[in-house]
Amino acid sequence: MRIFLNLTKSGIVWFVLLSAFIGFAMAISMGREWDSSLMGVLLVSLYLVSSGSFTLNQAQEWKVDALMNRTKNRPIPSGIILPWQGFFVGCLMVLLGLLLLMLIQPFAAFLSLLTVIMYNGLYTLYWKKHWSFGAVPGAIPGAMPVLIGFSAAGGSVLSAEALYLFMLMFLWQMPHFWCLAIRFKDDYSRAGIPVLPVHLGVNRTLYHIGLYVFAYVGLALAAPWFFKTHVAYILLVVPIAIKLLFAFFQYFSSQGERSWLPFFLWTNISMLAFLAAPVIDRWLFLWMLSY
Confidence at residue 287, expressed as pLDDT on a 0 to 100 scale: 56
Q: What residue ranges do the domains of the chain occupy? A: 1-156, 158-291
Confidence at residue 104, expressed as pLDDT on a 0 to 100 scale: 87
Confidence at residue 177, expressed as pLDDT on a 0 to 100 scale: 95
Q: Which CATH superfamily is domain 1-156 in?
A: UbiA prenyltransferase (1.10.357.140)
Query: DSSP alpha helices (H): ranges in the chain?
Result: 2-7, 10-28, 36-60, 62-65, 83-104, 106-116, 128-130, 135-152, 160-183, 185-191, 196-200, 202-221, 231-232, 238-253, 260-290
Query: How many CB atoms sit inside 10 A of residue 218's CB?
Result: 11
Show the low-confidence residues of the chain (pLDDT under 50): none
Confidence at residue 285, expressed as pLDDT on a 0 to 100 scale: 60
**0.75 exceeded by pTM:** yes
Confidence at residue 146, expressed as pLDDT on a 0 to 100 scale: 95
